C-alpha cells in the first residue's frame, strides 16, 4: 500500500504528558498537511509543509504544538503538556502541487491518530 500512513493509530495519555505522532506521505508528494477532527465536525487545518518548509500555521496551533518535516519526507506532530481539549483525531494528508495551481490538487489522507487525554 503506497498511501499515507500514520503512527500510532491510537494514543491514550495522561494530562500533562507529551505525545508525538508520525506521518509518512505518499512518496512523490511535496506537500504535507495536518488537520484535527473532533466528533461531529469536519477536519480543521493545523499546518502544512511544502517539502521541508513549514509555510503556514493555523491559530488553532498553540505554542504547545510543533510540527517538523525534516528532509521533506515524513513529518512529526508533537503536543507538549497535553490537555483534555487536545483529545481528537489527528489527520495527515499529502498532495502534489506548488505555486498558484496548488489548490487544484486533491489531498490524500491517512487513517488518522486518535488521541485521548485522560
Binding site for other proteins (CB under 8 A): 4, 31, 33, 35, 40-45, 48, 55-56, 91, 93, 95, 97, 102-112
3-state class (DSSP) for residue 70: helix
Q: Which is nearer to other proteins, 80 or 87 (CB)?
A: 87
Q: Report the helix count and the strand count for the chain, using DSSP H and E.
A: 0, 11
Q: Which is nearer to other proteins, 12 or 15 (CB)?
A: 12
Degrees (nearest 5) of the Cα angle 34, 64, 32? 15
Q: Which is nearer to other proteins, 9 or 15 (CB)?
A: 9
Amino acid at each position: 500500500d503506497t498511501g499515507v500512513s500514520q503512527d500510532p493509530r491510537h494514543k491514550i495519555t495522561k494530562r500533562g504528558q507529551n505525545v508525538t505522532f508520525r506521518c509518512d506521505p505518499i512518496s512523490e508528494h511535496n506537500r504535507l498537511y495536518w488537520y484535527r477532527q473532533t466528533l461531529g465536525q469536519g477536519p480543521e487545518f493545523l499546518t502544512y509543509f511544502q517539502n521541508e518548509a513549514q509555510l503556514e500555521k493555523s491559530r488553532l496551533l498553540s505554542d504547545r504544538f510543533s510540527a517538523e518535516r525534516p528532509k521533506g519526507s515524513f513529518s512529526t506532530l508533537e503536543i507538549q503538556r497535553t490537555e483534555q481539549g487536545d483529545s481528537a483525531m489527528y489527520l495527515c494528508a499529502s498532495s502534489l502541487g506548488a505555486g498558484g495551481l496548488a489548490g487544484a490538487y486533491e489531498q490524500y489522507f491517512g487513517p488518522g491518530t486518535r488521541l485521548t487525554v485522560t
